[in-house]
Amino acid sequence: MGWFRQLCCGGLALTFAVPALAEETAKAPTKSESKKETAKEQAKETVTVAGTRPSVQVLADRTVYSLDKNIQSSTSSISDILRNLPSLDVDIDGNVSLRGDQNVTILIDGKKSPLLAGNKADALQQIPASMIERVEVITNPSAEFRAEGSAGIINIVLRKDRELVSSGIVRVNVGDRGRLNASATGNVKLGPVHLNGGYGERRDGRRSVSSVVRTDGTNTTSSQAMTGRSAYSGRWTYLAATADAGKDEFQLSGNYGAWAGHYGSTENNIAAGSDMLRDGYSTWGSENAGGEAGYRHKFADKDESFHLDLSHYISWSRSGSDYTNLVGGTPDYWQRRRSRGHETHTGLEADYELPLGEKGKFKTGYALQIDTNLTDALGLWRDPTLSDWASDNGFTNLFALDRSVHAGYLSYEQKFGAFGVKAGLRLEQDFLHTDLKTTGEVHDTKALGLYPSLHLSYALTDTNLVTLSYSRRLNRPQLDSLNPARYSNDAFSVWAGNPLLQNEAVDAYETSYHHIGETSDVMVTGFYRATYHGFANVYRYLSSTVLLTTTDNLAHRMASGVEANVNATLLPGLNLKSSGALSYSEFNPGAQGIGTKQSGMNWNIKGGFEWQPLPEDSLQLNINYAGKQRFSQGYTNPTLSGDLGLRHRFEGGFAAVVSVNNLFDSWDRGMVLDSPGLHQVSNRSNPGRVFYFGLVYTFGGAKDVEPASGGAQGGMGPGGGQ
């Protein structure tokens, strides 16, 4: 028990849990329970090292990363935080991938949220990380979760601090080049009613440089060089109320988000020996609003309960662009495009939970989701010799999508000494209707699917745990992937959706071993994923210079590999964190005629350290390197990124933070397309480091970033702090 006492005193809390409910957080044993049970006996159910909130909890179906010790959370966006977590990656455009797959479901507080309506990548780059408490990465979700999200689920949990009567955190950060972000979160108890909420605002801007060179395998057919500058701003707010009436609990919440931006660009397009310059100016924006009502009833047995949740949100979006094409410096023609979108989501969930003795649980539930989308696009062009604008029929379209999904599930879990099992089965029926009203192209599809899941765990000792899991998942094509209307953002590239896309399905297998020692911990995970009808971008020439990008279903895709996370306390106050992954990918297009079979190795390494030279000072460094990543028709080039944060605490609840993102000035995305008749090399970058200086004020006992303490809490893998 010596190691147990040492870690408790160090303030480290780590949790291994054999199968637990998907929405349940592991609980530390009370002092009386600790006296009655030995460490070995605790390991048979839940191995918990008590102390402050754990930086990382390793549960049966997820890994939970707390932000209590993350200095970057004070000044960064959610995208910046996700980029540094194991298994996750965020590209230059803000797209999130899980083990190289972008088909990942992102939830807020376990639900679809209006905060992420519309373009999720843009929203994640705008929402302040200071508004969130923890991130849950679920690579093999259990049956309680919706089957959608073939790569897995990322659940972002907002700050609440319900245990405090009243508290709050206020942050203001100022950056270079006019950057600014501020946020406030807090809570208050009014008798049986608990209120919590938050507000965040962010203003940012970036420069971008990109280039494209295409060949037919022998000769260069076209090339492009583009420069631009963007500026965008956003604000988000949420408020939630919970009323405790004994055995009944009522919840009501609402949130609102808005973002807007503009982008100015200059293109130099070269083809067939002639130059064409193009100046552009684009604007975009979105507003999202929604609410949720919930009810929970506890029966005589406190572990028996019923939950009912109803949610609804609405999103409005708009975008516009104006381009002037120049030949020899003289205006040739103008191009104008406008687009408006409207999206709604309604969700209903009902869950019933029944205890089966002291170590078992049964859960069942029903879920309904109804989604609607409408996109209205208008394209115009005008030659300088004409006085009126003419319709650009290649862009003008009105596209509608309606989808409804009915789902029911059963879940059973039981513990047999050191062995635990959790098994579930989910049934989903979805109906999809798309209508390109401009041309009358209508498609109706329906699909019925069974999605089983199984999680097994075994506590070898009080410091060693092994797990084995399986789940079947799917991914449904979204609006942009289904709309067959074509659109373009530069002179040589056109995009279009595919209304005939099938759902992709994946069978995912994982096994892991986790060891925790007195000053270090190690977790190794092996995985295998077989994907059927997987989505893949497909590139085809429309002409000698214009390339069409659309989406199609591959016959089969496979990925297998191993991840390792090692964290250690090197010296008192100095914690090392590291993770790495090596995988093999294979893409088989089958008879679709979209290229040849591709395969290859992928790898990445993440590392850094946390250092606390004095009780009031701390420093954090993150470095991420990803090697070549394969996809269906080529690969992406290696990338390097890093960030640095320093924090000093003052008396009276104040603290100062300095952070540097894009530490190596290396935010770029290089991609090579290599298929029969097409070879393209492209690169995009956002040059310039990002500096922030911030002030933080906490009151009422709220916890902001906690200093690193003793124990193995490096930060990027189980047992670390991120």
pLDDT for 328 equals 54
* Type of residue found at 169: I
d(CA 538, CA 549): 6
- Cα 339 to Cα 632: distance, rounded to the nearest angstrom: 31
33-42, 78-87, 266-275, 673-682: least confident range: 33-42
- For 472-487, what is the mean pLDDT? 86
Contact indicator for 591, 555 with CB cutoff of 8 Å: yes
Tell me whether strands 654-661 and 668-675 are parallel, antiparallel or unpaired: unpaired
Judge contact between 198 and 192, C-beta under 8 A.
Answer: no
Q: What tokens were used for 275?
A: 């130059």
Q: Please determine, for residue 48, whether its predicted confidence score (pLDDT) is greater than 90.
A: no
When pLDDT is averaged across residues 691-704 and rounded to a whole number, the result is: 85
Rounded to whole angstroms, how far apart are CA atoms 229 and 674?
30
Burial class (CB in 10 A: 0-12, 13-18, 19+), 78: buried
Tens-place pLDDT, residues 309-343 = 999 999 999 999 998 876 655 566 788 889 999 99
| CA separation for the pair 245, 142 (Å, rounded) | 31
pLDDT at 718: 27
Q: 3-class SS at 265?
A: strand
Write out pLDDT tens, residues 518-564. Answer: 888 888 999 999 999 888 888 888 877 788 888 888 888 899 999 99
Query: For strand 166-175 and strand 690-699, is the pairing parallel, antiparallel, or unpaired?
Result: antiparallel
Residue 712 has pLDDT above 70, yes or no: no
- In the chain, the amino acid numbered 430 is D
pLDDT-based confidence at residue 444 (cuts at 50, 70, 90): very high
pLDDT tier at 113 (50, 70, 90 boundaries)? confident
Q: Average of pLDDT values for 8-20?
A: 32
Measured between alpha carbons, how far is 527 from 510 in angstroms, rounded to an integer? 4
Q: Can you tell me the mean pLDDT for 612-619?
A: 91
For residue 575, pLDDT beyond 70: yes
Hey, what are 292's tokens? 């949720």
Instruction: Using DSSP, state whether 650 is helix, strand or coil.
Output: coil
pLDDT of 637 above 50 = yes
Percentage of residues in the chain having pLDDT higher than 90? 41
**670, β-bridge pairs:** 683
CA distances from 244 to 159, 189, 250, 296, 420 (A): 19, 11, 7, 10, 33
Task: For residues 277-283, give the mean pLDDT.
Answer: 89
Instruction: Give the integer Cα–Cα distance in Å for 370 and 496.
Output: 25
What is the residue-wise DSSP string for 505-541? EEEEEEEEEEEE-SSEEEEEEEEEEEEES-EEEEEEE
| Confidence at 591, pLDDT banded by 50, 70, 90 | low
Cβ-proximal residues to 171 (8 Å cutoff; 6+ apart), any chain? 74, 75, 128, 130, 181, 182, 183, 184, 694, 695, 696, 697
Cβ pair 563, 140 in contact under 8 A: no
**What does 490-507 look like in DSSP terms, one character per residue?**
ETTEEEE--TTPPPEEEE
Quick check: 22 pLDDT over 70?
no
What is residue 357's three-state secondary structure?
coil
Looking at the predicted structure, is the pLDDT value of residue 407 above 90?
yes
The mean pLDDT of 263-278, rounded to a whole number, is 82
Query: Is 60 exceeded by the pLDDT of residue 269?
Result: yes
583: β partners = 561, 602
**Pairing of β 104-108 and β 88-90:** unpaired
**pLDDT for res 581:** 93
Mean pLDDT score, 696-714: 60
Q: Is the pLDDT of residue 34 over 50?
A: no
CATH of range 2-699; options 2.60.40.3710, 2.40.170.20, 3.30.420.40, 3.40.50.300: 2.40.170.20
Q: Which of 115-129, 163-177, 520-534, 579-593 has the lowest mean pLDDT?
A: 115-129
At residue 353 the predicted structure's pLDDT band, cuts being 50, 70 and 90, is very high
Distance of CA 624 to the CA centre of its chain: 17
Which of 200-214, 320-334, 692-706 has the highest average model confidence (pLDDT)? 200-214
More confident of the two residues 44 and 327:
327
* 8 Å CB contact between 394 and 381: no
